[in-house]
Structure 1
């Protein structure tokens, strides 16, 4: 949980907010099929539905009150993976900062699968 203080009071932003904003920003980028989740039971990578995409996001709270974000995605076949990942990193950093005011230190993108 990240807390912001002002003269009017305190605002607390939960991990779920960051996860949902991150998931929406990432899946809106070109070439991204969706968020990914590796099942513990069968070990396979699954495409997450929109309502469960926060499972593909991990938010880490840093000591300097910034956050770091890890996200797991599935991309479409034939896309330039480095270009897609750069686009996601920029978009997530911008959208999270714009919507929450939190400083994003790092965005790490893991491409777990490619859909043919």
Structure 2
């Protein structure tokens, strides 16, 4: 994404958005980690911290905003609505504060629940 300011242009890599988003989401209560669905066996796998960007999809919109889709794994027994709302709020706040780019929407997909 490229931002124009009065002092010049700023280019922000998509990796910056995925790393910030993944870190913000995994810091929320009830989130076990980011998830990815395997193409070979179709199972959902928990991602390690260094590869959690695979569970984040960032789409750059024409109106200089971003749309974010997260795939997560949550702990057993958490309120899914409350956790999802918390993630949406936290991700929107952190991304807008750090990058200065407006977040149009945050979609949270709960792919699995970990028991224990």
TM-score over 0.5 for the pair: yes
Q: Give the Cα–Cα distance (whole angstroms) in 2 for the partners of residues 39 and 96 of structure 1.
A: 28
Q: Give the Cα–Cα distance (whole angstroms) in 1 for the partners of residues 54 and 96 of structure 2.
A: 21
| Number of residue pairs aligned between Structure 1 and Structure 2 | 115
Cα offset, 1:9, TM superposition: 1.7
Partner-residue secondary structure (3-state), 2:40: coil
Runs (4+) of structure 1 exceeding 6 A deviation are: none
Cα offset, 1:7, TM superposition: 2.8
Query: Which is further off, 71-80 or 3-12?
Result: 3-12
Partner-residue secondary structure (3-state), 1:21: helix
Q: Which residue of 2 aligns with 1:19?
A: 18
TM-score, normalised relative to structure 1: 0.97
Cα offset, 1:42, TM superposition: 1.0
For structure 1, which runs of at least 5 residues remain unmatched after alignment? none
The RMSD of aligned alpha carbons is: 0.6
For structure 2, which runs of at least 5 residues remain unmatched after alignment? none
1:88 paired to 2:69: no
